[in-house]
Structures are given as structure tokens and as C-alpha cells.
Structure 1
Amino acid sequence: MMPMSLPSPCSPLSEFLPSPSLGIHAVFLNNTRNLSCQKFAGLKLVFIPAASLPTTKSYPPETTVLQSPILGNKEQRLYPKEVEKLKGLPMKEEEQEGLDFDEKDSKFQVLDFLNAIKALPCKERVDHIVRVLDKEIGVLSISDFNDVLMALVTANESDLVLKLYSGLTCYSLEPNSWTFTIMVRCHCKKKDPSEAKRVLDQMMQKGFNPNVATLTILINSFCKIGQLQNAFQVFEVMDRIGCKPNIQTYNCLLKGMCYVGRIEEAFELMEDIKKTVEPDIYTYTAMMDGFCKVGRSDEAMELLNEAMKMGLTPNVVTFNTLFDGYAKEGRPLKGLGVLKLMKQKKCMPDYISYSTLLHGLLLWGKVLAGLRIFKEMEGNGLEADDKLMNSLVRGLCRKSMKEIDLVEVAYQMFEKMKKRGFVIEHSTYALTIQALCMAKKVDDAFISLLQMVRSGYIPGLIAINNVIRALCLGGKVDEAFHVLVLMYENSKIPSRMSYDLLIHELNRQERTLSACNIYGAALVRGVVPHKKPRR
């Protein structure tokens, strides 16, 4: 087989991507930011440039052919001239300044390659990577090393990053600004901002200044755990080195201040922000969330109106903040107005929107409004979870005690839960049985009680007495006796009322012997019924 020549430098980690055309080896090309990924049989991945690979062995005049320490004599790889300038993906300071939080610059680089790494057992990953890197000593640049670190951070392989970084000196490499930046991000992802701050200090001691994205990430990490003082210390570093904060930086501080309850200070900061940078919808959302958490949802609504007047478009998170605020304040009907405004602004409610609104309506007894929202939610293809369904059925059952027509609706919801395999809670069973008994749906109540027992629940005395009374009133004393047996089987002593109801109905049916047996069973269990068998 003719040796295959590869345009551009091949990643030192290429052996982790098996290629059907190269045996145990694979191609990882990083000479261009316009890469495409071609899938081969067996979902094995090979990275190629956007342009097709040349079919001949002629090379552009600006490239030279070098032997690969990994691929040996079977395959070759090409390095453009001025290798150190082009190899890897070195991040210039101006590129770092525009760095997004989604780390897209590294995702396109080796994220697919990481899928192959993830397929390895955790214990083997470090050994494999280190073994490949060891083969590349003398060839590997800090840019290559940074590419691997950043890709691992992007893939949430923080432990691997820390282990590789600890052995950086073994490869005769010195960390640069981008290396330190990656490690700050790594520690922030591990929710260890204190260690990230230590790396930041090392970075500055080496003469590197962090960019606004790096400092903002660190500020956000401190704010998320409520360490606002440390966040402001990092903010002061920005001022000291002349790094101008952007709106994302301020948004992180706003969220952090609201998180620890410093609402008034957060509002003052927001007013100051308006004097220096233009706030975005996330600025307003963060402040609105702070107001809603302390029962000031009306002020949050005023902020929303202000944001819309400025031409900002509220998103679903903005509206969900208001749903939650009004629900916590006991004013869930206000949420209906928010939902209407949301639709007017062409913002599609999501599951959180409906579930938060529905939960608030049910919590505060607005069952009929909740039922309408539930139907709209299902109409939009969103299915309520177990907790919401249980709350809805219980709410309907309580409401049906005053509006008997709702019993059928409640029972239909109850049956829907069973068909869909929802977990039905003990209290939902109990209230459903009670509602069915009050509506004289005795057979349904009896069946529901049996299902309750089969589900592993022990019915309470109220549910038991409700069913026994309903069955006795319907003349179904044998079924009522079966309920009593269920209690015996579950080691539950029936109340005096249970025995009285059965004895009364047996006396009415002139089944004296059965009444005597029930009376005797009660005495054995230490219960003395008021009703006695007829002589």
C-alpha cells in the first residue's frame, strides 16, 4: 500500500481515532478553522479539511514532508513552513478578547476526537494520552498542548486536564497566557473558584494579563456559590489592569448580589450600569428574579415594561421569573396576565412556564383555572409530571366536594394517570376515594381502594370508613366485609365506626349470625362497638 501523505500537522493524539484506511492510526488535521468531519463505517471518525484531500503526492510549494514519530515509515505528515506560527491553534490576545462562554473555538478542534477518548475506561484515559504525548516530546508545542487541554475542558474532563497540566514540565513546555486561561476555566467548571483565583495570580505574576472573558468566568463562579466578596475582589483586578468590564460581567455581579439577598444594592448597581454600558435582557431578567424572590413581583413587572420600551425582547426565562414570583406571593391569577403578554410577544411558553403557573394555581386553590392551563399545556404537546398530575387530581377532588360535577373530571384524570404509568401518591388515592364515595360512585371507590392496597399503600381510617359506609348504604355488605378483611391483612385495627356500620347493615338485612361474628371480631381486637347484633 502506498504511504498516505497528510496535509498540515497531524495531532500527536491521532492514534486515538482509528481509521479504516490507516489501520490502527487516524488523521487529525488542524491547519484550518474550516474543518468538516466525515463519518466512516462503524462510526469511526476522520478529520479532513473542507477542501478535498489531494489524490496525488504533489504538495504545495510552501510545505515540507517530515517523518512522523508516531506513524513511522508507513505514513507521513506535512508541516507548513514557519511551523511554530501555524501549528495548533494559538490564541492571540485579540482573539481571546472576543472569547465566548460556549468555547466554540475549541469545540470544532478536537471535540469529536474526545468521543473516542470517552469510549475508553476512565482508568485508561490518562495513561493513553500521556503515552502519546511522551512520543511527541520535542515536537509538541505549547499550542498543541493548549488545544488538548481546552478540548478536554469543553468536554467536562476536568480531572484529565489537571493531571496533564501537572506534567507540563515533563514536555519541556512553559505555560503561556492561554494555558493559564484554560486552567482558570477548568477550576471554575469544577466549582473551585478559589483554586482558579490562585491560577489567576500565578498568571499575572508571570506577566500575563487575563482578558475580560476569563475574569468574568471567575466572577460568575464566585457569585454562583455566594462568595460575593471574592467576586468583587476579581472585579477590582479588572480595574487595576485596565480591563474594561462588559455587560456579561455586570450581569454576573447582579445575579450574585440577588442570590445573597442584596436587592437594593443590586438595583443601585443596575442604575450605575446604565450610565456606562447598555443593559441587555439578561440584565433585566437578573434584577427581576431578585425582586421576585423577595416578594416584589410588581416591581419586577415594571422592569419588564421598561425593558420592552427600550426595544429589548424578553425571553422565556424572563417570563418564567414572573410566574414563579406571583405564585410564591399567592397571586397566581396574575400569572395568567403574564401568559397572555408572553403570547403577544411571540414567546412560546415552555414546560417550566406551564408547570410553574399550574403549580401556583393549584397551590392557591384556583383549580378551574389550573384545569384550563393543564389542557392548554397538553394541547401544546407538553405532558405534566407525576407531581403536577397528583396535585391536579387532589385539587379537583377537593373542589368536587362543593361542585359535584367535577368528580367525573377528577376520576378521568385519575384514570389517565394509571394508564400513563404515573406514580399515584397515597393522598391522591385517599382523596379520590373520598370524592367517589360522596358522589355515590361506590363501585369505582371500592376498585380504587383495592388498587391502592395493591400499590403497597395502607389505607387510612377515613378512606376505609368512607368506603364501608358507601358500600353499606348501597346494600353491598359483602364487599364492605371484604374491606374489613383487607384491614386485618394489613395489620390495621378498624375503628369502632367501621364495625358499627357493618353491624347496622347486617341487622337491617336480618343477618344476625354474621352480625354476631363481626361483633365478636371487634371484641377480640379490643374494640367495643356501639351497635350490637339483634337477638
Structure 2
Amino acid sequence: MMLMPSPCSLQSEFLQSPSLSSPVFFNNTYKLSYNKFPRLKFVFIPAVSLFTTKSYPTETRGLQSPILGNKDYKLCPKESEKRKGLPIKEEEQESLDFDKKASKFKVQDLLDTIKALPFKGVDHIVNVLEKESGILNISEFNDALMALVTADEPDLVLRLYSNLSCYSLEPDAWTFSIVVRCHCKKKDPSEAKRVLDQMVQKGFNPNVAILTTLINSFCKMGQLRNAFQVFEVMDRIGCKPNVQTYNCLLKGLCYVGRVEEAFELLEDIKKTTTEPDIYTYTAMMDGFCKVGRSDEAMELLNEALEMGLTPNVVTFNTLFDGYAKEGRPMKGFGVLKLMKQRNCRPDYISYSTLLRGLLLWGKVLAGFRIFKELEGNGFEVDEKLMNSLVRGLCRKSLKENAPVEFAYEVFDEMKKGGFDIAQSTYALVIQALCVANKADDAFINLHQIVRSGYIPRLITINNVIRALCVRGNVEEAFYVLVLMYENGKIPSRMSYDILIHELNRQERTLGACNVYGAALVRGVVPHKKPRR
């Protein structure tokens, strides 16, 4: 299938007929018989619908570019001393904003049809597209590509594009933009750059959206040199970067730790007509926080507020993370207060980052407060964080005689909620209960841990036996030994010594003899012996 150029273009004035040796003249009012050329499909546009464009003489300028190489491109002459970029059709310039371009295809229906094919060859897929679209031209082909992009099928888009010439179709600016985007999505910016080179060689001028996409892809890969080369090309072809372009470069510099250069870039942005937005400041703040300069990040936040910018939840979360990494998690309470004053609702990441920092640096009681606030706002804490909180509260109660009730409250919520409780969490809870003279609760939890399939460590067993013996509950302490026997766990010598000592104290000599004998049968010789 052949596409005819616009009747107003120079190429339309003199075209070689595919079936005759003599040239055929076409204009915008000439009508062809489809019977004469049945294999060709022509698209005619009435003259009244065509754009009226000026015709400029072309001039050749040498363009040196680190990304496009040294090439001569035909550029439009200057108008009012303002540099123009490479020539591009007005309608194609509009189509370059592919994020806003809607496809007429029903994406899911198209995908279902393609997936139902016995073979996934390009020929079969193109047949589907022809059937779906009727007459297949480059515009409708682009619609199909955009449908596949929307459906997150970049591989299929690239396969179709590689066979485009087989169907007598020539890519336009929109086609190239889609393909560049797909290569970037596949984390292959080098191939995207090659396609961009082809785009320029074909006479199409990439717009800021596609160049920013390529810059962002290079930055995400840590290839800052290539990203800045593309940035230089933007200036050479007269494409003015926007704030999104600068934001990509800022994030890229911060990603590789070049924070000072990123800050210099931020200062340069302020000197241009491009105003930084909250994402610009957030990127720079994140860079400062990653290198332990959270106070400077806070200064940037204050500057953004003075400019009238509205920080979002990501902006504040950056500070939570920065202060936590610096060992100053309590600073997060000030951030949380400011966040609420600015009517920015904390999300799960806000609370969990703050809570994780507080637990990491031993501020467990403050962490418990954040945990309660987190739950009060309808968030569900994940198992790992709840296990960490319980263990932290238990250690606090063991070292500083803090109340064990906080730890047991969270622990009880975990049991009721069906959370996966780590064995180390169970052990610390049992130990904390024993120290807090809550032997009955410790005994119940020991029984539960064994029933759930865990075999507790000997130190945990001995803590429960000792706590029960202190309470005088020898029968329950003896039952702990039986429980261990039944689950293949041999109590230690200390286990028997604790129980024999308590039986001797209660003058229950026969019971002490029984325990002593049971130890000998299992190859354990206790230090304590029954009284005679």
C-alpha cells in the first residue's frame, strides 16, 4: 500500500506512476479511478481543508551534536532573529505529545484478538490491524501502536515498527516518538537515541516531550554524560527545556551522588524563565537527605513554601527518611507537625518510615505513639514492622523496667489479626512476661508457640520454669518439662536444677526424686539432688 503526499507538497506535483512509464500529474482536485490502480490506496484531502503555509527557501547549516554527530541539516531561515528548529509540519508537532494522543482502537479488544492468533508473527498482527481499521495508513498504524503502548506491550510495538517498510508505510514524527518511548520503557536509551537520530535525519524535529523522555531514561540508568549530551542537543536545535527536563537531570545527578552539581543546576534554573516546581525541590531535597544533609533539605522546603509552592506527601517523606538515616528520628515529629499544618495527610509511608527510624534508634515508646496514630488513621502495619515494635518494647521493659503492657498490647493484636509472629518475638515476649512476674501469661504463650510448630530455645524454657517456680506453681513447671519431652526437646541441666530446688524448698522429696530420676534416664545429671 502506498501513501500519497499532501497535494500541496512539492512531491505531489510530479510522481512516477507505479504501472506506467510516463509521469502522472496529481493535484488536489484530480480524481483517480480505483479500478485503474486497484492495489493502491490514495488519500485525498480537499483543498479547502489544507493548511496554508509559507514557502521558505532552504539553507544548509552545519549542526554539530554529540548525540546526532556532525551533519548538515536544512533549517528554516531566521525570523526576527529568532532561531528555528528543524522543519516540522504543524499537525505533526501537535501529535508529538503522545501522552495526550488518544487511540481509536479498543485496547483490550485488540489485545484479545492478537492473543487469540495461532501465530504471533508480524504479518498476522498487521492483518488484524487492517481488519480492525479498514484502510491502514500511517496515522491508523500509529493509533494501533498507541493502543499497544497503552496496554504495556512495548515489545510488540517494536516488532511492528521494524517491519513498517514492508507495508509501504513511512514513519512520521508521531511514529518515531512512540518508538523512542518504547525503547526507554525497556531501559534501552542507547537504542532510543539511535531512533532519535533517524528521526532527525528524516527531517522531523523532536519536541521537548520526547527529548525529556530520553533524558529521563539515561538518568535512570546512571548515564549522566549521555543525558547532558541530549540536553545540549535541545539547545542546538532550538528546543527549550521545560521544568520536567530539569527535574530529570536533578534526580539523575542526585542518584549518582553529585549533589553539589545538582544544587548548582537548581540555582541556574532560578536564573532562567523556567520556574522550579515542587518536584524540583523534592528531587534536590532527596539528594541532600541521601548524603546526610537533611537540615539543608529542610531549608529548601522552607524556601519552596516561601515561593508559594505546595509540598506533597513525597516531599515530607523524604525528610522522614533523611532524619532516620542520620540517627535523628525525633526530628520527624516536627516534620509530621508541619505536614499537618499544611493540610498534607500523612500516608502509610510517612508513618512507617518515621516508626522504623524510631525503632532503629531505640526510641520505642515514641514509636508506640506513632503506631497508635497510624492505626487510628486506618492503616494496617505490616508484620515485619509489628514484630520489630514488639521486640523493641520488650527490650525496653527488660532493660529499664518499663511497662510490658505496651508490648503485650501490640503482641495481642498480632495474634488476633493472624499475623506471622517471629520466633524471636515470641521468645522476647515470654521473657518480658517472666521478668514482669506474669508467669501464667508466659506459660500460656509458651504452650501456644509449641502448638504453632516452634521449638523454643532452652533459655526461654528455663525462664518460664523459673517464673512458675517463683510463683510456687510446680505442677505447671513440671508440665513444661513434659511438653518439651513430647516435642523432642531435651531440657537442660538448669531446667531440672530449678525444678528440684523448688520441690526441695516445698519439702516434696518424692517429687524431687522423680524429677531427678527422669533427668538421669535422659542422660542429664542435675547439680541439685533431692533432700534425704
Aligned residue among 149, 157, 163 for 2:145: 149
Structure 2 match to 1:70? none
Q: 1:312 to 1:507 in 2, by over 3 A?
A: same
Structure 2 match to 1:463? 460
Q: Is this contact kept in 2: 1:323–1:353, CA < 8 A?
A: yes
Q: SS at the partner of 1:378?
A: helix
Structure 1 match to 2:500? 503
Determine whether 1:269 maps to 2:269: no
Q: 1:136 to 1:474 in 2, by over 3 A?
A: closer
Displacement of 1:211: 1.1
Q: Please say which of residues 124-133 and 158-167 is displaced more in the overlay.
A: 124-133
Q: 1:137 to 1:371 in 2, by over 3 A?
A: closer
Displacement of 1:520: 4.2
Aligned residue among 221, 226, 238 for 1:230: 226
Structure 1 match to 2:127? 131
Q: Is this contact kept in 2: 1:185–1:214, CA < 8 A?
A: yes
Q: 1:268 to 1:417 in 2, by over 3 A?
A: same
Residue pairs, 1:199-238, within 5 angstroms: 199-238=195-234
Residue pairs, 1:351-362, within 5 angstroms: 351-362=348-359
Letter in 2 for 1:518: V
Q: 1:497 to 1:197 in 2, by over 3 A?
A: same
Structure 2 match to 1:32? none
Q: SS at the partner of 1:401?
A: helix
Residue pairs, 1:32-431, within 5 angstroms: 92-96=91-95, 99=97, 103-106=99-102, 109-110=104-105, 113-119=106-112, 122=115, 124=117, 126=120, 129-135=125-131, 139-276=135-272, 277-401=274-398, 406-431=403-428
Q: 1:445 to 1:136 in 2, by over 3 A?
A: closer
> How big is each residue's C-alpha offset from its partner over 1:10-48, in whole Å with a ceiling of 9 and x where there is no partner?
xxxxxxxxxxxxxxxxxxxxxxxxxxxxxxxxxxxxxxx
Letter in 2 for 1:95: E
The structure number with the bigger radius of gyration is 2
Letter in 1 for 2:215: I
> How big is each residue's C-alpha offset from its partner over 1:99-148, in whole Å with a ceiling of 9 and x where there is no partner?
37xx2323x644xx222345568574946643323558992110101111
> How big is each residue's C-alpha offset from its partner over 1:496-532, in whole Å with a ceiling of 9 and x where there is no partner?
3222112212333444444344334444555432212
Q: 1:332 to 1:162 in 2, by over 3 A?
A: same
Q: Is this contact kept in 1: 2:114–2:125, CA < 8 A?
A: no
Q: SS at the partner of 1:462?
A: helix
How far, CA to CA, are the matches of 2:114 and 2:431 in structure 1? 55
How far, CA to CA, are the matches of 2:132 and 2:431 in structure 1? 75
Q: Is this contact kept in 2: 1:96–1:211, CA < 8 A?
A: no
TM-score, normalised with respect to structure 1: 0.77
Q: Is this contact kept in 1: 2:107–2:150, CA < 8 A?
A: no
How far, CA to CA, are the matches of 2:424 and 2:134 in structure 1? 70
How far, CA to CA, are the matches of 2:487 and 2:185 in structure 1? 51
How far, CA to CA, are the matches of 1:123 and 1:324 in structure 2? 48
Displacement of 1:411: 1.2
Displacement of 1:333: 0.8
> How big is each residue's C-alpha offset from its partner over 1:83-109, in whole Å with a ceiling of 9 and x where there is no partner?
9x89xxx99344246x37xx2323x64
Q: Is this contact kept in 1: 2:113–2:128, CA < 8 A?
A: no
Letter in 2 for 1:223: C
Structure 2 match to 1:454? 451
How far, CA to CA, are the matches of 1:95 and 1:340 in structure 2? 45
How far, CA to CA, are the matches of 2:134 and 2:116 in structure 1? 27
How far, CA to CA, are the matches of 2:295 and 2:288 in structure 1? 8
Displacement of 1:82: 5.3
How far, CA to CA, are the matches of 1:433 and 1:258 in structure 2? 46
How far, CA to CA, are the matches of 1:479 and 1:121 in structure 2? 69
The percentage of counterpart residues that share the same residue type is: 76
Letter in 2 for 1:503: I
Structure 1 match to 2:430? 433
Letter in 2 for 1:143: S
Q: SS at the partner of 2:101?
A: helix
Q: Is this contact kept in 2: 1:156–1:189, CA < 8 A?
A: no
How far, CA to CA, are the matches of 1:523 and 1:337 in structure 2? 62
Q: Is this contact kept in 1: 2:180–2:195, CA < 8 A?
A: yes
Q: 1:305 to 1:136 in 2, by over 3 A?
A: closer
Q: Please say which of residues 350-359 and 372-381 is displaced more in the overlay.
A: 372-381
Determine whether 1:472 maps to 2:472: no
- Which runs of 5 or more residues in structure 1 are unaligned? 1-66, 68-78
How far, CA to CA, are the matches of 1:456 and 1:235 in structure 2? 60
Calculate the aligned-residue CA RMSD, in Å. 2.7
Q: SS at the partner of 2:323?
A: helix
Q: 1:454 to 1:515 in 2, by over 3 A?
A: same
Aligned residue among 507, 526, 531 for 1:529: 526
Q: Is this contact kept in 2: 1:138–1:171, CA < 8 A?
A: no
Letter in 1 for 2:178: I
Q: Is this contact kept in 2: 1:126–1:160, CA < 8 A?
A: no
Displacement of 1:401: 2.8
Q: Is this contact kept in 2: 1:181–1:214, CA < 8 A?
A: yes
Q: Is this contact kept in 2: 1:254–1:287, CA < 8 A?
A: yes
> How big is each residue's C-alpha offset from its partner over 1:132-168, in whole Å with a ceiling of 9 and x where there is no partner?
2355899211010111111211221112212222222
Q: 1:117 to 1:454 in 2, by over 3 A?
A: farther
Letter in 2 for 1:225: M
Q: 1:409 to 1:136 in 2, by over 3 A?
A: closer
Structure 1 match to 2:480? 483
Structure 2 match to 1:43? none
Letter in 2 for 1:291: F
Q: Please say which of residues 387-396 and 133-142 is displaced more in the overlay.
A: 133-142
Q: 1:159 to 1:397 in 2, by over 3 A?
A: same
How far, CA to CA, are the matches of 1:116 and 1:487 in structure 2? 62
> How big is each residue's C-alpha offset from its partner over 1:152-198, in whole Å with a ceiling of 9 and x where there is no partner?
11221112212222222232211111111101111111222222122
How far, CA to CA, are the matches of 2:513 and 2:226 in structure 1? 79
How far, CA to CA, are the matches of 1:485 and 1:205 in structure 2? 84
Q: Please say which of residues 124-133 and 381-390 is displaced more in the overlay.
A: 124-133
How far, CA to CA, are the matches of 1:369 and 1:381 in structure 2? 19
> How big is each residue's C-alpha offset from its partner over 1:451-476, in whole Å with a ceiling of 9 and x where there is no partner?
22233322122211111111122222
TM-score, normalised with respect to structure 2: 0.78
Structure 2 match to 1:52? none
Letter in 2 for 1:484: L
How far, CA to CA, are the matches of 1:109 and 1:523 in structure 2? 85
